[in-house]
Chains A and B, each alone.
Chain A
Amino acid sequence: MSTFIIRRLLQAILVMALMSVIVFFGVNVIGDPVHMLVSPEADQAEIEAAIRRLGLDKPIWEQYLLFVKNAMQGDLGKSFIFGEPALKLIFHHMPATLELAFSALFLAVLIGIPLGLFAGLNPDSPISKGIMAGSIFGFSLPTFWVGLMLILVFSVELGWLPSTGRGETRSVLGFETSLATVDGLKHIILPALNLALLKISLAVRLTRAGVREAMGQDYVKFARAKGLSTNRIIFVHVLKNIMIPVVTVMGLELGSLIGFSVVTEKIFAWPGMGKLLIDAILQLDRPVVVAYLMIIVVFFVLINMIVDILYSILDPRVRLQDQGA
């Protein structure tokens, strides 16, 4: 187990190193941030000063080495725009994104698994066919369009739910969260639902396929031959088996929920990391972009590791220490 974790952490460091190279040089190619920062009327001397202040006068490889040296000490650079440490900026916006991602995951599990279970157990019922047709929409409709429609229906037409911002937040364990207030909850419903829609569809399809497969297995027939109640067969024998793929996939999807909540955050003006990233990209704020992506890499690696550990708990056949992956 500990060998497994150490190996994972080493892999994480390697991925982060590669990522930093790609992003650092990549952003540099796109454009010159100085032109975004200094006013159009600035003279040559002012521009030169700005370049020196940001450390952009040195050759790019020297800038990178300096970045690596600082990164070793936990300093990922200062934002060109805000003049604040990039990490601090990101951590400031992180709780909003995390609570949005976890709410979406929660919705996906809460809605997707029961629907998938129903569809898997009654494959021929018209309701199941409706659920499956709905999941196709969930997969194919673009997030930004669904988000706009949600706002149009629930905020503009019906006026039930607010469409922008986090609403009232309260501090819980040192984090500001919308989940602790009624107003905050109202604000999070639409963006969370929008973000969750694709994952709900995914959960429905995964669960349904798993149930359909498990129901035909000998162990289910044997459980029936033992005279067990239908509930026991479904909720113990079948569900425990299908949780293995569902937990794996949904766990990995959490990473993409955090990393790619950008569109939803933009539409619902949710002040999370995604919005910060978009703004940083538009302003060529390289330290923020690099730091953000590094953090996302850490998230993915951590989540994958947790999923692997969960997997070994759910499936007794899996043992972690001897795996090459």
Chain B
Amino acid sequence: MSAVLEVNGLKTHFFTRAGVVKAVDGVDFSVSSGEIMGLVGESGSGKSITGFSILGLIDSPGRIVEGSVKFDGTEIADAREEALKQLRGNRIAMIFQDPMMTLNPVLRIDTQMIEAILAHEKIDRATARERCRDALGLVGIPSPEERLNAYPHQLSGGMRQRVAIAIAFLNRPRLIIADEPTTALDVTIQAQIIHEAQKLTRQTGTAMIWITHDLAVVAGLADRISVMYAGRIVEQGETDDVIDRPRHPYTVGLLGSVPSANKRGQRLYQIEGMTPNMLALPQGCAFAPRCTRASDECKTAPPIQKSGGSRIRCFHPFGEGGRA
């Protein structure tokens, strides 16, 4: 499998009045076609900004300050807006978190779908409309022809997210960045959406980055998982390795906080402390102040260590099987 996307040393900083926020601070990963990579982290860990950086959708005062984003072998981190526009929605598509907000409330579904095709292809509206109808059918929307004429408010949240997914798949992209696409949905709808997304990536060979804060979601969905903390990836590996044999103390903590993994009546594990203030990150490992295993060594930034298929950023990782 060839890498569709390779991200190396990506740094996206926001230059605010209060100081520089290093939202993404040296992120590396790659995704191959047909592969789903889970990008996991708490709110503010920089996972969404990573997604937006790939598409060049970072607004002032933020910008990519360093690093490379290679899409199909072409560098796009410093690409011009016009070149990026041709990629967006065409070769790289994005799905957003809140389906209530992502569709324009005053435009009909067909308008919003057809324009996505016409922005990239010179075909007549009727053909484009047909393709939109087929795409709606593909994501499991009943009577797609009628839905095309509907306005977003006439559809449920789950339906709207299906529409957003249909829009993402419209132009057969090589890569889809899904930014918490199921967070705002009911659990049953969540499972359906995940199922549809998984089916479509397998069918079309599309690569996918699934951004979420919910390890349980990616555990069953992703091929590989990257765990982000304070702008950096702290652990990266095959899903089974990361879930069953977490090495980084943060990943161990995250997994410990998943209620379903715990026995009834047992106290739920919490990671001590709070997510760090992005304006004043601690020296060295950002997780050190909350880490039970931290030592003086952690005041310098830990290098990336490889062990097995995983890459971790920690001086004191847990051993195989999550034990010291």
Contact residues of A with B, CB < 8 Å?
217-219, 221-229, 232, 236-237, 240-241, 244, 314-317
Contacts and interface: CB of A to CB of B under 8 A. Distances in A.
- The residue in B106, B107, B116, B164 that gathers the most chain A C-beta atoms within 10 A of its C-beta is B106
Contact of A240 (B85, B106, B167): B106
Contacts of B85: 227-229
A222 B94 contact: yes
20 contacts: A219-B104, A222-B102, A222-B103, A224-B57, A225-B55, A225-B88, A225-B93, A226-B89, A226-B167, A227-B119, A228-B116, A229-B85, A237-B104, A237-B107, A241-B104, A241-B105, A315-B105, A316-B108, A316-B153, A317-B151
Given A226-B119, A227-B116, A228-B119, A240 B103 contact: no
Nearest to B120: A227
B115 to A, nearest CB: 6
Nearest to B154: A316
Contacts of A237: 104, 107
B151 to A, nearest CB: 4
Contacts of A226: 88-89, 93, 115-116, 119, 167
A228 B106 CA distance: 17
B119 A229 contact: yes
Given A226-B88, A236-B107, A221 B57 contact: yes
B88 A224 contact: yes
Measured as residues with beta carbon below 8 angstroms from the partner, the interface class of chain B is 20 to 34
A212 to B, nearest CB: 13
Given A229-B119, A232-B119, A316 B105 contact: yes
A313 B166 CA distance: 27
Nearest to A315: B106
What are the 10 A-B residue pairs with the smallest beta carbon separation, nearest first?
Answer: A227-B89, A227-B88, A226-B89, A218-B101, A225-B94, A316-B151, A222-B102, A219-B104, A226-B116, A218-B102
A227 B115 CA distance: 9
B241 interface: no
A300 B315 CA distance: 74
Contacts of B120: 227
Interface of B: 55, 57, 85-90, 93-94, 96-98, 101-108, 115-116, 119-120, 151, 153, 164, 167
- The residue in B86, B97, B116 that gathers the most chain A C-beta atoms within 10 A of its C-beta is B116
B283 to A, nearest CB: 34
Contacts of B94: 222, 225
B87 A227 contact: yes
Contacts of B55: 225
Given A224-B57, A227-B119, A314 B89 contact: no
Contacts of A219: 101-105
Contacts of A225: 55, 57, 88-89, 93-94, 96
A53 B207 CA distance: 92
Contacts of A241: 104-106
Contacts of B96: 218, 221-222, 225
Contacts of A221: 57, 96, 102
A241 B152 CA distance: 14
Nearest to B94: A225
A236 B106 CA distance: 10
Nearest to A219: B104
A227 B105 contact: no
Given A227-B90, A228-B85, A241-B106, 12 more contacts: A222-B102, A223-B104, A225-B89, A226-B116, A227-B120, A228-B119, A232-B115, A236-B115, A237-B104, A241-B104, A316-B108, A317-B153
Contacts of B167: 226
Contacts of B106: 240-241, 244, 314-316
A221 to B, nearest CB: 7
A244 B119 CA distance: 26
Contacts of B116: 226-228
A224 B81 CA distance: 11
Contacts of A224: 57, 88
Contact of B115 (A228, A244, A314, A315): A228
A314 B104 CA distance: 13
Nearest to B81: A230
Nearest to A223: B104
A221 B177 CA distance: 14
A215 B324 CA distance: 50
A241 B101 CA distance: 13
A226 B151 CA distance: 18
A209 B235 CA distance: 43
Nearest to B51: A225
Contacts of B102: 218-219, 221-222
Contacts of A217: 101
Contacts of B101: 217-219
A228 B105 CA distance: 17
B127 to A, nearest CB: 18
A280 B97 CA distance: 63
A316 B105 CA distance: 8
- The residue in A222, A240, A314 that gathers the most chain B C-beta atoms within 10 A of its C-beta is A222
Contacts of A222: 94, 96, 102-103, 164
A316 B107 CA distance: 8
A229 B90 CA distance: 13
